[in-house]
Amino acid sequence: MKKKSSFSTQGQRADIGSLVIYRVLPNRYADAVGPFVFLDHIAPKVQTKINKEGTGAHPHRGIATLSYILNGEDEHFDSAGNYALVHSGGVQWMNAGNGIIHDETLNYDSKTDSKLTHAFQFWINLPAKIKAEKPGYLAIEGRDVPFKELPDGSGWVKVIVGSFEELTSAIPTYSAQFLYHIHLEPGAAFAIELPDKVEVAAYLPTLQAIINDEEFKAGDFIEYDRTAGSIEVKNKGQEACDILLFGGEPYPEPIVAEGPFVMNSKAEVANAYRNFYNGDYGKIDYDKQRAGM
């Protein structure tokens, strides 16, 4: 049985500098999908000059940030001393744990002739016990993201988080969760069965698609019911289309989110701010981190 859509909506503009950004999650209908509590879509753009400012150094606590770079290169810095530059198709994952400061800069890919930039950032809520641990970090280049061709040249699936069939991502998980990038050629279809109680949503970043016999347009975020069933995606268009499918088991603990912090109580959020203003999260040494790459 095919799962039924609960609602669909579009993201709201939340631009940073020259980046055109659509804030897809949270929205007026949903605060989370499984452990995913945030999704920004950095829209496709031809970049004509190098971005040297980044998003600006800022704190996080209680979540893992995940940046998925479709096109371009993403430079990561944080106050734990982690640094990496990943290119088109790559992933930056950072467990903010008990507090960290980080910064990211998205530019066009220096390894190719393309000036196109296009990316996503997710926040993944952490269990309370992981929120109390030290931060962690992982960078994955595009060639190392688990990848599978679909039958008859109809497209492919990339496993950014979790597992799909024989593929498993290197991104650490602390609950049942998944994030798939599905690419379908014109006329192609993809289907997946999901168990009972799993929360799942689809996002169409650039083109329309038919999902469980309903037609959705570019920019649509669609959440589905929590009963066992299938998700079937069809591309009836003239161009190849992309779909992000993500979710997981419901987050079982209280969620209190404010600014860059996602904790389990208001007192914990207040403490997160207090620690940040006290300087407990450290500082980023940009020059030292670049020099040590």
Distance CA 42, CA 62 (A): 23
What pLDDT does 17 receive? 84
Query: Which tokens belong to 231?
Result: 């998700």
The tokens describing 232, both together, are 């079937």
> Which residues are within 8 A (CB) of 231 and not within 5 positions of it... i.e. 6 or more apart?
2, 3, 191, 192, 194, 200, 202, 211, 212, 224, 245
How many CB atoms lie under 10 A from the CB of residue 240? 14
Q: Give the model's pLDDT for residue 293.
A: 60
What domains can you pick out in the chain, each with its CATH number?
Answer: 5-286 (2.60.120.10)
**What is the model's pLDDT at position 55?**
76
Return the pLDDT at 288: 82
Determine the pLDDT at residue 18.
Answer: 84
So what's the pLDDT on residue 292? Answer: 72
* Amino acid making up residue 252: P
Tokens of 203: 């996002």
Least Cα distance to 175 among 28, 35, 278 occurs for 35
Tell me the two tokens of residue 189.
């279809």
pLDDT tens digits along 228-286: 999 999 999 999 999 999 999 999 999 999 999 999 999 999 999 999 999 999 999 88
Separation of alpha carbons 149 and 156, rounded Å: 4
Which residue in this structure is represented by tokens 């203003």?
A: 277
pLDDT score for 207: 97
Residue written as token pair 């998205």: 106
Contact by Cβ (8 Å): 118, 72: yes
Low-confidence ranges of the chain (pLDDT < 70): 53-54, 293
Q: What is the pTM of this model?
A: 0.96
